[in-house]
């Protein structure tokens, strides 16, 4: 719980002290298995994230997802996870958010899961989305693997939406 508070305070401190134009985004996703060599490992997930955009770059948005909280079922057991990561949105429009245009998405993250399965993990994802003003629905392929050898790998298809809270 103390780690969550520190991550949240660091993110809010960055936002308030930067003086740069920034956007704060909330994300909600549902995931289902993409492939698995072990049918008992197949899982479903629900995740919520808070992120802040980094200084603007033409045709790209770089975002730090400073707090991600998830619930999933692996090996027929429930678990919860906390994660943080970076995300990039690439767009043909000068400003990807509120552009009403297609987006390419990429993500890297690290996290900790409590429950059977991954424990400490790293995640890599790639997907596509479409900006609809403040809403960005998307689909992403995500690969999660443990920092510990011999643990199962988690491949998922995520369906979600990013929403611009303010900025």
Domains and CATH numbers, the chain: 2-166 (2.40.160.20)
Q: pLDDT tens digits, residue range 29-88?
A: 999 887 655 565 567 889 999 999 988 788 999 999 999 999 987 767 788 999 999 999
DSSP 61-82: EEEEEEEEEEEEEETTEEEEEE
Q: Report pTM.
A: 0.82
**pLDDT for res 42:** 61
**pLDDT for res 154:** 81
């Amino acid at each position: 719980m103390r780690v969550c508070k520190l991550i949240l305070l660091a993110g809010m401190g960055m936002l308030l002290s930067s003086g740069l134009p920034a956007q704060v985004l909330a994300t909600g996703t549902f995931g289902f298995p993409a492939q698995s060599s072990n049918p008992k490992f197949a899982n479903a997930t629900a995740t919520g994230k808070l992120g802040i955009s980094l200084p603007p770059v033409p045709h790209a948005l770089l975002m730090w997802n400073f707090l991600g909280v998830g619930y999933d079922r692996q090996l027929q057991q429930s678990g919860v996870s906390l994660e943080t990561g970076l995300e990039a949105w690439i767009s043909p429009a000068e400003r990807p958010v509120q552009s009403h245009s297609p987006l390419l998405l990429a993500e890297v993250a690290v996290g900790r899961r409590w429950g059977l399965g991954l424990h400490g993990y790293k995640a890599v994802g790639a997907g596509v989305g479409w900006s609809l003003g403040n809403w960005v629905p998307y689909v992403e392929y995500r690969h999660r693997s443990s920092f510990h050898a011999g643990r199962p790998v988690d491949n998922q298809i995520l369906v979600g939406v990013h929403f611009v809270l303010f900025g």
